[in-house]
């Protein structure tokens, strides 16, 4: 999870990355948003969510230890009023929290909605390193 003070804003040396992100994720919104509007909206949404604070309020604090993945899910769901998608990554037979995704309606004024799949890549183990 990225630290809030380090948002992924475009820089001249990573324009290729941002171009790839537009092709991979943004082009489906081309009928509603151009590239500038798409990334502006993405950054607005990103900056409007304070995951660390949500988790802290529910006593889910990153310490590099095992945490119940359901606790992470429930804390976010409580504050966001929608089901996120928790993604894990396996490294040397251990599962780590890798990414938290949100699902949105497709519009210029998107609303958060439940994601269809709650956990991806997390194995059957109920705990992940966080």
Q: What is the CATH number of the domain that holds 80?
A: 3.90.730.10
pLDDT tens by residue, 60-77:
999 999 999 999 999 999
The pLDDT-based confidence of 124 (bands split at 50, 70, 90) is confident
Q: Which of 72, 69, 60, 77 minimizes the C-alpha distance to 114?
A: 77
Residues 32 and 80 in one domain: no
pLDDT tens by residue, 88-118:
999 999 999 999 999 999 888 999 999 999 9
pLDDT of res. 92 = 93
Residues 55 and 111 in one domain: yes
Helical residues (DSSP H) of 10-129, grouped into ranges: 15-21, 35-47, 51-57, 69-80
CA 119 to chain centre: 12
- Bridge partners of 116, per DSSP, are none
Residues 42 and 73 in one domain: no
Residue 4 lies in a domain: no
| Total domains in the fold of the chain | 2
Within 10 angstroms of residue 9's Cβ, the number of other Cβ atoms is 10
What does residue 125 show for φ and ψ, rounded to 5 degrees? -65, 130
Residue range(s) defining the domain that contains residue 36: 11-48
Q: What is the mean pLDDT of residues 12-20?
A: 78
Within 10 angstroms of residue 94's Cβ, the number of other Cβ atoms is 14
Is 80 a residue whose pLDDT tops 90?
yes
């Amino acid at each position: 999870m990225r630290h809030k003070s380090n948002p992924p804003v475009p820089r001249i040396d990573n324009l290729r990355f941002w171009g790839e992100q537009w092709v991979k994720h943004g082009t489906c919104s081309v009928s509603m948003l151009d590239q500038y509007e798409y990334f502006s909206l993405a950054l607005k949404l990103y900056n409007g969510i304070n995951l660390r604070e949500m988790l802290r309020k529910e006593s889910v604090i990153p310490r590099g230890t095992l945490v119940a993945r359901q606790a992470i899910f429930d804390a976010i769901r409580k504050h966001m009023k929608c089901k996120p998608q928790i993604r894990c990554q396996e490294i040397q037979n251990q599962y780590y929290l890798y990414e938290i995704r949100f699902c949105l309606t497709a519009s210029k004024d998107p609303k958060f909605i439940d994601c269809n799949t709650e956990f991806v890549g997390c194995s059957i183990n109920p705990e992940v390193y966080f």
